[in-house]
Amino acid sequence: MLKAISHIALVVRDPARTAQLFERALGARIARLKQERKGPPETFLFLGSIWFVLVEGESHVSRSDDHIAFSVAEDELEIFAEKLSALGVESQVSRAGTAAKSLYFVDYDNHLFELHTGQLERDLASV
């Protein structure tokens, strides 16, 4: 039986640069930079309680609606938007069908992220 997500791995051209983006904009905690072992170098970090592995390589991600979403408090959205803007990263706030808002942004390798203010139970009840 599945328990939970163990980790999320993303292929990025420059793991240190992407880790720095996540650290400065989202408060990521970098666990280890440039782990050298068999295979490509990897950077390990935590976004919230989720372990991410940034694997160095050629990213072939084209923009799509596939994304990773994090829950945040609504009063934090503007703070995140300001941090992303200061780092030169475009973001867009959109309002879902309910009172929830989302802030979307794309990292340097076209991975789409959402910062969402809704709660799953409330959002499902409104559908």
Active site residues: 42
Q: Across the strands, what pairs with 44?
A: 32, 53
Decide if 115 contacts 80 (C-beta within 8 A).
Answer: yes
Q: How far does Cα 23 stand from its chain's mean position? A: 11
Q: How far does Cα 61 stand from its chain's mean position? A: 15
Six token digits for residue 101 = 């808002």
Of the candidates 90, 95, 94, which has an alpha carbon nearest to the alpha carbon of residue 107? 90
